[in-house]
Amino acid sequence: MSYVTFGDLRTAAYCPRKLYYRREEDDREPPPEVAAIRALAFRYERSLAAEDAELADEPIAVDPGTYRSRLADARERFGESRWETLCSPEERGVLATGRDCRGVVHKLLTGPLEPSLVSPGRPPERGVWEPQSVAAVAAAKAVAWEHERPVETAVVEYPAYGAIRRIRLGTRRKARYRRALRTVRSLDGPPARTRNRSKCEACSYADRCGVRTRTLRSLLGFG
């Protein structure tokens, strides 16, 4: 059986055309800085006790005070026991294989089972971005399949921002996952370009895709 990876699902949920170009170039390895950001997710307790100067040397995207405050809020929300498990999980970097998908679960929490995926990017104001939601559903389904027990929630971490979000696997999230799965499996040529041109601004395939993105000059009203 050919499994769909969490990464391909995440990219397809963001932009199917981007996934098409990535497949053509076999470009699926994350840039080096991603590892440094993900490592923050295993140093939360140390970060809470760190001085400003120490945190300033870390790859965080907010000021040290805000960072510690967000981690403290997360600790309170998750509760002491779950927080300890989140900071020092017994299983990390687990390759989980489900009925349809497989991929790496950065942290596998137990009691109850709950996968956590660590994103190097910026979180939305609330919840998680759709691509991360789709990947989290895939991870939860894979863990549930392997352990033969239901998994109802998942966690998405944005450690550069000190944001840790738990999501429930509701009907809408599962529907988006199934849509992304169908997209990946049916991809055999370049899909239509996305209508959301804001996604194209930072895309490394924008020139190849042929979309016109807004330049800084036009954004400032000079073009």
**pLDDT at site 215:** 46
- The hierarchical CATH code for the domain 4-191 is 3.90.320
Q: Are strands 114-118 and 163-168 parallel, antiparallel or unpaired?
A: unpaired
The whole-model pTM stands at: 0.88
**Domain range annotation of the chain:** 4-191, 193-223
**pLDDT at site 211:** 65
Per-residue pLDDT of the chain (223 residues; tens, 9 = 90+): 589 999 999 999 998 888 888 888 776 677 778 999 999 999 999 999 999 999 999 999 999 999 999 999 999 999 999 999 999 998 999 999 999 999 999 999 998 999 999 999 999 999 999 999 999 999 999 999 999 999 999 999 999 999 999 999 999 999 999 999 999 999 888 777 777 777 887 787 887 877 665 544 444 443 3
